[in-house]
Amino acid sequence: MKLVFATNNRHKLEEISAIIGDKIEILGLNDIGCHDDIPETADTFEGNALLKARYVKDKYEYDCFADDTGLQVEALNGEPGVYSARYAGEPSDSEKNIDKLLEKKKQKKHFRPYQIGLVAAACVAVVAGTVVWQYGRMHEGAINSPDVSGGNAGSSAGNSNTVKKISDSKKIRTAQSYDEIYKYIKRSQDNSGIAMYARSVNETAAVEDSASTGRSTASSTETASADTGVATADGSYSQTNVRQSGVDEGDIAKTDGTYLYVREDNGRTIDIVDVGNSGTNIEKYSEITLGKEYTIQEFYVNTDQKKLVAVCQKECADKSNKKQTNTDTWNQTKTAAVTYDIRDIKKPVKEGEVTQSGTYNSSRMADGYLYLFSEYYTGGDVVKDKPVTYVPLVNGKEMSQTSICLPPVNCGTMYEVISSVDISKPDKTVDNKAILSEGGQMYVSGKNIYYYESEWQQDNQTVTTLRKISYRKGKLKAVAQGKVKGYLNDTFSLDEYKGNLRLFTTNDDENLVTILDKKLDKISSIGNLAKGESIYSARFMKEAGYFVTYEQVDPLFSVDLSNPEKPKILGKLKIPGFSEYLHFYGEDKLLGIGMSTDEESGMSEGVKITMFDITDRTDVKEESTLVLDDLYGTNAAYDYKSVLADQQKNRIGFSGYSQNGETYCLLTYNGKEKKFETILKEEINGNTSQGIRGIYIEDTLYVISGNIIEAYDMDTGKKMGDIIL
């Protein structure tokens, strides 16, 4: 069977061929001799996709499917949308398009960088005779379904006409046989038609999800979940900002107090840098370079065991198999952890490597154990008597069926894969688990891993499903499944304390506080908060929680969580603007990084730094505010590792966007006079797309961007030296 994909993009064709397998031959427009400029005159993604598919069907008589993609910005009411390529007019000019987007952004309120998102596969239409398929459903005639746009963190884009029932069962069941897994996957494939969908992500990702030093500390859920500083115990050098106290995260730059460790732009090399005398004589000391099949995503420096662990994505071509099946192809993408002995800093020695199926997602380290997370897609070509075609591999072997979790809700054909490694034995894994899922985000507490994914339902209602897996010294155990109303803004919107899970969610036009017990059963909740607004940031500390909503002004809510059965809203402070990131600055201060807006028009007026006094939770006060009107955004909202907030050293560092590029700011807070003071405000050099990090050793700040390191005196802001790696 032959099927035309209405595109000339070879990468798209390769990806779709990998998904479909060898049972259907996928042809591009060039393959059928179509060099026409197919009109895309519709005002919706689905309309343009349908135009292209029907054009090919009518003129060339091939069954055809087509997609349409574009950039949708929530703050601009979905612009540019279908006009992305020609946003600034004809002819198409990408630089002019960007300039127009940024100019319109300046005129809008509550602009959030991670709410600019590419709507990939916003519509997929298949035309075969008179039947049109979209979003996994079959419709006779024309498409009549809503747009799919980039949603909030952890949400799944989909057809609101399709409502999946989320099971009330709390148990995560493990498979009893490979046959059971095979049937589960086939049933999911049969229910979804062609396996193609859009999914929204944020942290970075996020994006979710990586930062820290190599020093591991004891983990406990009885302590505050939020860091109150990033300094080491003796305050001599900074750690990278982490989500959970006691749980280390990988990053693109590290220090052990003597050397800087920096990933180069090539993605394969980690440089070990001697910072010299207070940054005045920075020199490259040695390096670790991996093979071309590796791309380093992040790494750890464990000072206790003198080890460096590189977490990589690894592409392995199977030369012996010239015609790979879909699953064979996907199995070639692996997540790897490569461990080096760095006792001799000049000659790091590779000690071991472990791999698991799937693309890199994240990692964590606690008590000398590394936990790897990847996403593995089974694809369409699964063979019943060949588990290798539908079961993830760990160190080249199929996972045991008893390690595969089958949630009660039928969740699709993607695995969230977890494996653990004792870094003192870095060539083998301790344990592994996999959960069939549609993809989501995760939060790692001191004892448990929580996967969560949100699903849009009818009438703008959202349900978030959570799956809990405990970890201890590398051992993994599936514990429970639960659900809550609404979606989570990011990983800071949920938190574990004394075994309970506290969540701040948004559902349609209301916000909720929900507390779940160890089995993810609901203990209590508060609803109908800040109707018509959405949660923009959140933070928990012990028995208190804080979250920010926004529409025209910034209400900062303080919540008493001391009695899980009766949570209370203690206070609500309303001020213009909003905070996108919150960070505790000692026990009685809360730092907010966000945007200033005009109270009447809602127009952005620059980046706002706020210090809140939380001494009295019933009466939270805005103690001081600094507005940087030449900056129009920061990385803090979606890359918390970029924030340096150290109360011990009394330094606050972050990067922001200006018309000239990115700028690094270093502030201090004068508690007596209750005001921020600027120490450094410098344009950043280097490849900022890789992320910017500010790390200090003693009294010198090192700003790292790509292959460039610049050193500054932390008291005066004077530049001390630099190096291009």
> Helix, strand, or coil here: 403?
helix
Neighbours of 433 (CB within 10 A): 24
In the 8-state DSSP scheme, what is residue 228? Answer: S
Task: Give me the catalytic one of 67, 68, 431, 554.
Answer: 68
- Collect all residues with Cβ–Cβ distance below 8 Å to 232 and sequence separation of at least 6: 213, 215, 238, 239, 257
Token pair of 99 as six digits: 């300039």
DSSP 152: S
Q: Which strands make up the sheet holding 604-613, listed edge to edge?
A: 578-584, 589-597, 604-613, 621-628
The Cα-based distances of 322 to 316, 319, 328 in angstroms read 13, 6, 11
In terms of Cα–Cα distance, which of 601, 597, 666 is closest to 632?
A: 597
The closest alpha carbon to 635, from 275, 19, 229, 203, belongs to 203
With contact defined as beta carbons under 8 Å apart, do 510 and 528 qualify?
yes
Tokens representing residue 542 in the block: 């012990």
Helix (H, G, I), strand (E, B) or coil at 103: helix
Q: Which residue has the tokens 């999914």?
A: 199
Closest CA to 302 of 236, 367, 372, 246: 367
**Cβ partners under 8 Å of residue 322, min gap 6:** none
CA–CA distance, 392 with 576 (Å, rounded to integer): 50
For residues 211-226, one letter each, b for 16 or more C-beta atoms within 10 angstroms of the residue's C-beta and e for the rest, the string is bbbbbbeebebebbbb
Note whether 134 and 198 are within 8 A (CB): no
Active site residue 68: yes
Query: And the tokens for 49?
Result: 């996709």
Residues with catalytic annotation?
68
